[in-house]
Structure 1
Amino acid sequence: MVTVTGSSGRVGAALAEALDAAGWVVRGVDRIPGRWTSVVGDLRNRPVRRAALESADVLVHTAALHAPHVGRLADEEFRAVNVGATAGLLDDADRLGARRVLYISSTSVYGHALESTDRAVWVDEQLAPLPRDIYDETKLAAEELVAGCPVSSVTLRISRCFPEPLSVRARHLLHRAVDVADVAAAGVLAVAHPTVTGRFNISGPHPFHREDCLALSRDAGAVLAERVPDVVRAFRDQGWPVPDRLDRVYDSTAAANAFGYRPVRGVRQLLRDAADGPGLE
């Protein structure tokens, strides 16, 4: 059995559904009801954690306060939810016999390291995080807890995957975003490879190479025209501007090599969906 925290949220629900489809018995826990949520409660309360983790083989931890909460909630609330509850979950998971922990983090932890100068930043796991706010700080602190826990663990740093206007999503999917379905697929793979540990970026199928970084900061349109001319044409057909500068590229090569992650729902899929008509987020 797998316990999924944050199972009523966008990412948690997608992971729960994908794990269910892969044959796992799923128990979801969240503060609000949802299709995949059978335990409703606050993870800062130990009885809630223990009810969620009883008999669980795997803990998938997605529940957290997120970047939009910065400035709206006190820093102490971030630490209590993102760090304190994570520490409690890991301790209870170990005591109750879980064999695997998957933690969902964010590429936001790279923080100030994402700020480009004369070239786009190539964002792989060798880039040292430089947290810029309480969200980044607490997600990184939780990563450290996960890495140090006795249970076999893996952390996925997922890139941007929340709903946005189509033109904005399309631009981000070029270099710094991921479809939530690909996140869910990555989670299933990470759970299925129990010997894989560490931290991995999870992003979309981006068309660039490290040697493109200088050109991307100067004339991204030219690089796109060379790498993905069909995408450039589709942007123009939609009346969307082709970006003239890109500041970063998220690299998921390490996840591909470690557990076979292969994102499929990139900008081309979004463009096909857009061409098929309305109904998207």
Structure 2
Amino acid sequence: MREQRRERAPDGVATVTGSSGLVGTAVAAALATAGWSVRGFDRAPGRWTSVIGDLRDPQARRAALRQSHIVVHAAALHAPHVGQVDDREFHAVNVGATEALLEEAERVGVRRIVYISSTSVYGHALIPTDQAVWVDEGLEPRPRDIYDETKLAAERLIASAAATSAVLRIARCFPEPPPVLATHLLHRAVGLTDVAAAITRLAERDTTTGTFNIAGPYPFTRADCPALHHDAASVIAERLPDVAAAFHARHWPLPQSLDRVYDSSAAATAFGYRPLYGIHQMLRTRGNGPESAQLV
């Protein structure tokens, strides 16, 4: 992973594939706010989708990439599709369409590719033994299903692209019940605004390359991993007494064990990623009692 200290001003077209999806919508909005002319591409209509089509269609690819300076590739089949969609379709969409997109991008001279991958690619490596798994980019992925396999295969294609490229392995960022989300924001979830901010920074720093975890601001260190696996509730109560009190006030159980902690420090070093949406922000914005005012 490396960065040359040169930033480019947003002065061109940014194509966002999967622009009608949860992540794509947030990314497209952030890029537009940053000054990019956004061209959204998706099979379904959406606020930011101006080209509707399938990436496996050559005409659709040409329309999506015409005069583009940067491509943010978020379109994919996802984990919920496992078992519902044939494995061959997973390969066709997640790998074959990505390869075709890169070929078209090279033909028209796209300068920058940012690929939205997932921390799910770590797969079986996320299973703890005697301590929580500290998940940085040095952890070797061990795919557990067709989704992980195809996302990892697409990462390799992106890394070999003619344009400068970066891969973002984003943590979970979809809607969940408040008690579940609160626990996940302690160690394995990320806010959509932070994902979009990371991509916007990478769009401007077009010589930053590599693979980066994108996760939330967590209160733990690698040294906490043994205790987090065996008695997470005590660690949380000691480290974050206000959060423990907020869980108690809401009648949410503190987790007794955490299986992993995602580490985004490589992204912080490489391009200044600073996640802002964490457990305190979630409890403030979703507070349902006077205890929320005491959170800092």
Do both share a fold (TM > 0.5)? yes
Task: For 1:197 and 1:228, locate their aligned partners in 2 and report how far apart those are by CA, in whole Å.
Answer: 35
Q: Match for residue 50 of structure 1?
A: 62
TM-score by length of 2: 0.92
Unmatched runs of 5 consecutive residues or more in structure 2: 1-12, 290-296
1:226 offset after TM fit, Å? Answer: 2.0
Q: Match for residue 98 of structure 2?
A: 86
- The alignment's C-alpha RMSD in Å is 0.8
The reply on whether 1:207 has 2:219 as its aligned counterpart is yes
Alignment-mate amino acid for residue 250 of structure 1: Y
Q: How many residues align?
A: 277
Q: Match for residue 71 of structure 1?
A: 83
The reply on whether 1:171 has 2:183 as its aligned counterpart is yes
1:276 offset after TM fit, Å? Answer: 5.8
Q: Match for residue 280 of structure 2?
A: 268
Task: For 1:95 and 1:158, locate their aligned partners in 2 and report how far apart those are by CA, in whole Å.
Answer: 29
- Comparing 268-277 and 49-58, the one that deviates more: 268-277
The reply on whether 1:60 has 2:91 as its aligned counterpart is no
Task: For 2:87 and 2:76, locate their aligned partners in 1 and report how far apart those are by CA, in whole Å.
Answer: 13
Task: For 2:288 and 2:203, locate their aligned partners in 1 and report how far apart those are by CA, in whole Å.
Answer: 34
Task: For 2:282 and 2:142, locate their aligned partners in 1 and report how far apart those are by CA, in whole Å.
Answer: 32
Question: What SS does the corresponding residue of 1:275 show, helix, strand or coil?
Answer: coil
1:15 offset after TM fit, Å? Answer: 0.1
The reply on whether 1:116 has 2:137 as its aligned counterpart is no
Q: Match for residue 137 of structure 2?
A: 125
TM-score by length of 1: 0.97
Task: For 2:216 and 2:96, locate their aligned partners in 1 and report how far apart those are by CA, in whole Å.
Answer: 31
Task: For 1:7 and 1:179, locate their aligned partners in 2 and report how far apart those are by CA, in whole Å.
Answer: 17
Alignment-mate amino acid for residue 274 of structure 1: R
1:110 offset after TM fit, Å? Answer: 0.1
Among 13, 17, 25, which residue is 2:37 paired with? 25
Task: For 2:242 and 2:263, locate their aligned partners in 1 and report how far apart those are by CA, in whole Å.
Answer: 22
Task: For 1:99 and 1:228, locate their aligned partners in 2 and report how far apart those are by CA, in whole Å.
Answer: 44
Q: C-alpha deviations, 1:6-57, integer Å up to 9, x for none? A: 0000000000000000000000000000000000001111110110000000
- Comparing 214-223 and 125-134, the one that deviates more: 214-223
Unmatched runs of 5 consecutive residues or more in structure 1: none
Among 230, 250, 274, which residue is 1:218 paired with? 230
Task: For 1:264 and 1:236, locate their aligned partners in 2 and report how far apart those are by CA, in whole Å.
Answer: 24
1:227 offset after TM fit, Å? Answer: 1.6
